[in-house]
A = this chain, B = another copy of it.
Amino acid sequence: MEAVEVELIYDVARLEERLIFKALRRVGLEAALTNVKSVPIGWESPGVSLSIIRPVSMHRALYAASIREAVGVPTVNRSSTILFSGDKVLTLSMLRRHGVRFPESYVAFTVEAAEKALEKIGTPAVDKPPVGSWGRLVSLIRDEETLRSLVEHREMLPSQVARTHIIQRYVDGGRTDYRVLVLGGEILGAMERSAREGEWRSNVARGGRIRGVKPDPEMMELAAKAAEILGGEFVAVDLLKDDGGYMVNEVNGVPEFKGFMEATQVDVPLRLAEHVKTVLRR
């Protein structure tokens, strides 16, 4: 029996995970599945040469990557990428440190601080927690009363992360953003996402419409730079655009790509599998 080369770590088997698994086999790699909902993970050798990290939950992904790396198994993405993209405060710090533009933002932990942040930013503003996907709890703030309501609501949550507010300038044209997929430093393609009627968030999970676009050089350069800063082998970079050009909004270290494949016709899992094979054969 040949040794397993690649381990696919997951918690929910979405279409993405099933396609990646098939693609790994298609390019001739021995692949095994690890469902972190059924087995515990310890700091011991899993007997694989590389782990692809795909849990939907950011923290499950982070912990799985961290434990594999600790015993010498390279991971895609590495734990630091998952962490620094998974927590939006840490993302912004990394971007700022490397001079990448993002919408003016403040971090607030209390009603009092949030109100002061809103004074600096002005309305409308965006309020979001550091961790979360699909636009969840991302709110548009039109007035101080709404902000106060939201802060009071978050106060009820037992996690300090969830009680943290990123108060951010709302970018004109913010109902549209651009998602660029980056793999091993290369741009796989780009799509535009537009919010549906009656909703300002462009997330597909919120009914956003998508269409493939040809990435322009500025878009490509910025996405590649964001990926590089975060050490991301395989990441989705979300860009916003205003009069000053593109800005990075978020980076996703365990990217979903079903919609992206439909919009761009790029065979993402195959490209990923080929990339992993190349990395392994180096």
Contact = CB atoms under 8 A, between A and B. Distances in A.
A58 B160 contact: yes
Contacts of A146: 139-140, 142, 146, 149
Copies of this polypeptide in the complex: 4
A40 interface: yes
A85 interface: no
Interface stretch (A14-22, A89-97, A178-186, A236-244): A89-97
Contact of A92 (B36, B43, B83, B106): B43
A57 B159 CA distance: 10
Given A42-B107, A150-B149, A198-B144, A66 B90 contact: yes
A278 to B, nearest CB: 25
A113 interface: yes
Given A59-B160, A158-B158, A69 B97 contact: yes
B63 A105 contact: no
Contacts of A1: none
A143 interface: yes
Interface in A124-147: 130, 136-137, 139-140, 142-146
Contacts of A71: 96
Interface string A79-113: 10001000001101110110000001111111011
Given A42-B120, A113-B36, A140 B149 contact: yes
Contact of A160 (B57, B93, B153): B57
A80 to B, nearest CB: 9
A162 interface: yes
A39 interface: yes
Contacts of A120: 40, 42
A63 B150 contact: no
A3 interface: no
A152 B136 contact: yes
Interface string A143-183: 11110111011101111111010010000000000000000
5 contacts: A43-B93, A69-B93, A140-B149, A144-B198, A145-B200
Given A11-B109, A67-B89, A142-B146, 4 more contacts: A140-B145, A144-B198, A153-B154, A157-B158
